[in-house]
Structures are given as C-alpha cells and as structure tokens.
Amino acid sequence: MISRALLALIGLAAVSCGPANSPAADSARFAGATGVLEPELNRWTVSTKGIGPLRFGMTTADIARELGDSTLANIGARSSCGYIRPKKVPRGASLMMSNGVFVRVNVDSAGVLTDTFIGVGDSEVSILVRNPGRARIESNKYSGPLSHNLIVTNPTDPGNQMIFETDGRSIQRYRAGTRAAVELVERCG
C-alpha cells in the first residue's frame, strides 16, 4: 500500500516538473495525486443542485434544521434578496436567499470545489475539459473582452446552472443556482 506521504511527493514532483500553468496544478489532479481533499471539504462541493447537503429551494428554516443552527431559522425570510454565511458553510461561500428561499451560492476564494473538482484559481481549460459539451464562453460584462464567463449547464437539471468568472486564464470566482438567480450579475440585481 502506498502511503499518503509518498502520494504527496509524487503529486508535488508532477506539478514541479510541468509548466507553471499546466493542468497538473488544477485542483482535481492535485487532489487525486495527494489525497489532500479532506472529508469535510469534500462534503461541501458545489453542484447545480446546491452546496453540500443544502439544496436550492430550501428555506432558511430547512437550512437551520440541516445545519443544526436555530439562529438561521428566521434570517432572510422577510427580505426579497440577501446573503447569509452560516458558520458550518466553508469560508469563501455565501448563500443567496430570495424571500427566504435558497437560490444561489457564490464562491469567491480557493478551497471550495465543484462536484467536478474545479475551484477558484483553476484554469479556464479545466472547466471545458471537465464539462465537455456543457460549457459555453461569453465575454464578462464588466471586465472587458479578455475576461470571460464560462456558463455550465447540466442536461439533467435544466433549471439551474453555474457561471465561472475568469480573467481570461484562471477562475476568479463562481456561482451556482437557479438560472434567474445565477444570471444576476450584480448579486441581488
């Protein structure tokens, strides 16, 4: 049996031998080579259905029950749109609530990965490779023609999508949720 330390050394050697921006530096390959993904982080992956055990369409009361946090039960129920950051949700992720219903998750820092092991800092190419035929590229509305939005849809979940914002090379932030909520560029509109 190969030890975790040996796997880590092999992964580091593979990364250090390739070009600085090689796909080997992306989260999925690094995690696969080193086993760095911890079970708790793995539990909080983002998909077109939600983040971790939280699903789009849940109410704040549902989220409070799921997380065992009664302080969340009434937050955002009166607001037409707002964000919450429950303590148990990983740092860098925030939940958009619309009329007390979870409709979108925003991720703005490294460490929170998608169900295809893509995260902030990974390359644009990684999105295209891990989502064949499901991603389209558009210019970013505010950052100019060199920056992109890569929009990923899931044929089994047509009402939801993910949008990855890039600087033309790497992911700067991303969001997932219902189409209407994800397409809001300025957060709550």
Q: pLDDT tens digit string along 148-185?
A: 999 999 888 889 999 999 999 999 999 999 999 999 88
Distance CA(183)–CA(177), nearest Å, equals 9
3-13 average pLDDT score: 41
Cβ contacts of 162 within 8 Å, gap of 6 or more: 46, 48, 114, 151, 152, 174, 175, 176, 182
CA dihedral 72, 75, 76, 78 (to 10 degrees): 140
Binning the chain into helix, strand and coil, the percentages to the nearest 5 are: 30, 30, 40
- 105, 163 in Cβ contact below 8 A? no
Provide the H-helix boundaries in 24-59: 27-34, 39-43
Contacts of 122 (CB under 8 A, 6+ apart): 26, 27, 170, 171
Average pLDDT, the chain: 80
Query: What's the CA gap between 107 and 46, in Å, rounded?
Result: 9
Using pLDDT thresholds of 50, 70 and 90, give the confidence band for residue 141.
Answer: confident
For residues 101 and 139, the model is more confident at 101
pLDDT of residue 43: 78
> Tell me, what's the pLDDT at 27?
58
Each residue's pLDDT tens digit, 46-94: 999 999 999 999 999 999 999 998 877 666 556 788 899 998 999 999 9
Please state, in angstroms and rounded to a whole number, the distance separating the CA atoms of residues 116 and 56.
18
pLDDT tops 90 at residue 10: no
pTM reported for the whole predicted model:
0.76
CA–CA dist 120, 171 (Å, integer): 5
CA distance 118 to 176: 13
Higher pLDDT: 128 or 25? It is 128
pLDDT above 60 for 100: yes
